[in-house]
Amino acid sequence: MEKKCLKTTDNLWVLFNGSEYVVGLTNQAQEELGKVTFANLPKAGTEVKQGQPVVEVEAEKAVQEFVAPLSGVISSVNDKIAENIDVLNDEDEMNAWLLSLKGVDTAEFDNL
């Protein structure tokens, strides 16, 4: 994945890769939550609004709901999470991506 622009907000990172906005857990979120044991992800095709709950993560230390950092349509979710939740505990936070968005207003991203 080519890194174009990376921003962080509310323990999530947002990466514009040239076509989509990919959202994942920061290392800070991983440390605060402890080992992630479950994630409730939305389905591809779901429209989300900035600031509305989009992902719920259960971990050793807490259950946390994350809000959408941007408005848009979910174009994909990380299928590896369903196969092996430990992908969200990876030291390389780029592997801990949750979902990607399309149809995002670039001004929203610029204002993060």
What would the pLDDT profile of 88-112 be if each residue is shown by its tens digit? Answer: 999 999 999 999 999 999 999 999 9
**Would you state the pLDDT for residue 2?**
46
**Would you state the pLDDT for residue 4?**
61
Yes or no: say if 71 and 105 are a contact pair by the CB < 8 Å rule: yes
The whole-angstrom separation of Cα 91 and Cα 98 is: 15
Closest CA to 56 of 33, 80, 87: 33
Banded pLDDT at 7 (limits 50, 70, 90):
confident
Closest CA to 14 of 42, 50, 45, 40: 50
pTM value is 0.92
